Amino acid sequence: MIKILFIGDIVGKAGRETLAHFLPSLKEEHDFDLVIANGENVTHGRGLNKRHYLELMNLGVDVITLGNHFDDREELRSYIEKYDNIARPLNLIANYPGKGSVVVTTKKGDKVRVTNILGQAFMKEVITSPLLALKLVNLDSEPMIHIVDYHAEATAEKMTIAWEFDGTISALLGTHTHVQTVDARLLHKGTAYISDVGMTGAYDGVIGAERNSVIQKVWFDKKSPFNYDNEDVNYQFSAVILEIDKETFKTKKITPIYKLWTKYEQ
């Protein structure tokens, strides 16, 4: 059995601190074969610079997926191809460096494919069909464990993709909404599913951003920016644990994790 931890969108400094707080003890408890994290919001809420990429590696993350914020730090273009463990969105029309589907080897020598795909509904990015993009990856790939981070707004869209690929991928994990859903389950042919893994970061904000800045932007001034300097002391960690059969590549168990933490607790 292969045990994989997948951590939902890590947002800003609060997210990095929360990762540092929870990951070492979780790793000790579970002895994961692989730790995957969505890193599209790691650098001040937008994108992933190289310093923070290395910080996540130091904290024990093995593979990083991204999302619609992939290019918010253009620095990514300069270093993504130096590493083989960053998956940016697969179905971009633009010619962007790096890969949307990467294969990594666990410490025990098992191969795992990790794919990052952008969804269509309510998303602004110009993309190719997520369904076709994933079919092509499956056609090209030798059989192995395959974890798909489907980065999208609409739960129904995520479900249609998950059912269409049931039995042909090990897990279809939704990200992007930053709110963990309670629908984690196994589909009929062994694909694990959750509509959204949720967010790792500030608990008292709005999906990771400081709440007053979001209220200001949404209701009073569309041009005012989101602020990610949360003064709050409460944090959340959102993830799922997958237990996958290494012979069949099917998932036997998906366990959601949602933990709260108060930074200055005595």
Binding region for Fe ion (CB under 5 A): 9, 40-41, 67-68, 176
Question: Cβ 200 to Fe ion, closest distance in Å?
Answer: 10
For Fe ion, the closer CB: 144 or 218: 218
Q: Say whether 69 is catalytic.
A: yes
Question: Cβ 178 to Fe ion, closest distance in Å?
Answer: 6
Q: Tell which residue, 199, 181, 187, has the closest CA to residue 11.
A: 199
Sign of CA dihedral 245, 248, 250, 252: negative
For Fe ion, the closer CB: 12 or 67: 67
Question: Six-digit token pair at 97?
Answer: 């460096």
Question: Cβ 165 to Fe ion, closest distance in Å?
Answer: 21
Question: Cβ 111 to Fe ion, closest distance in Å?
Answer: 27
Q: Where are the beta strands (DSSP E) in the chain?
A: 2-7, 34-38, 63-65, 86-87, 101-105, 111-118, 145-151, 171-175, 185-186, 192-194, 201-202, 234-244, 251-262
Parallel, antiparallel or unpaired: strands 185-186 and 192-194: antiparallel
Catalytic residue among 52, 69, 151, 176: 69
For Fe ion, the closer CB: 16 or 250: 16
Q: At what angle do helices 12-30 and 50-59 cross, to 10 degrees?
A: 30
For Fe ion, the closer CB: 67 or 190: 67
Task: Give the C-alpha separation, 149 to 130, whole Å.
Answer: 11
- Catalytic residue numbers read 69
